[in-house]
Amino acid sequence: MNQTLTEISVRTSSHTEMIDITRKVQEAVSRSGVKDGICVVFVPHTTAAVTINENADPDVQTDFMKEINKIVPWEDGYRHMEGNSAAHLKASMMGFSETIIISNGALLLGTWQGVYFLEYDGARNRRVYIKILGC
């Protein structure tokens, strides 16, 4: 089986942030030479996550972050001594991986879909693993 593992760096600049990493994921697919297969994007952190959502109107990202922050407020009498329980909760809610089909050497995303790295306790230097399997 043709396979590759790529690690990319993501430098976040805000406490809470949504960063489009679609181009970086596609570059890893292109470099792998895999034409048909599966791409797994995995975030190895406990206060950051990955999701797929609209990449056309940036207001969607603004609304997305605003509403998630309302659902899980930063201060709410949490017990976790590090003081970032909200970030842990939001990361698990959004999840740490996405699986995307590769077809003809490209990510088989919908017209309006992009892959987003979600920062919930930045700013930090973060990592993302991209596993590509040809099949």
Site of interaction with Zn ion (CB under 5 A): 82, 84
Give whichever of 88 and 131 is closer to Zn ion, judged by the CB atom.
88
The string over 68-103, giving b where at least 16 C-beta atoms fall within 10 Å of a residue's C-beta and e elsewhere, is: beeebebeeebeeeeebbbbbbbbeebeeebebebe
Q: Which residue is nearest to Zn ion (CB)?
A: 82
Minimum gap (Å) between residue 18 Cβ and Zn ion: 20
Give whichever of 21 and 48 is closer to Zn ion, judged by the CB atom.
48
Paired with 37 in beta bridges are 102, 134
Paired with 125 in beta bridges are 11
Minimum gap (Å) between residue 6 Cβ and Zn ion: 27
Minimum gap (Å) between residue 117 Cβ and Zn ion: 19
Give whichever of 33 and 83 is closer to Zn ion, judged by the CB atom.
83
Structure tokens belonging to residue 83: 């003081």
Closest CA to 16 of 116, 93, 120, 88: 120
Structure tokens belonging to residue 8: 């990319």
Give whichever of 98 and 121 is closer to Zn ion, judged by the CB atom.
121
Minimum gap (Å) between residue 105 Cβ and Zn ion: 39
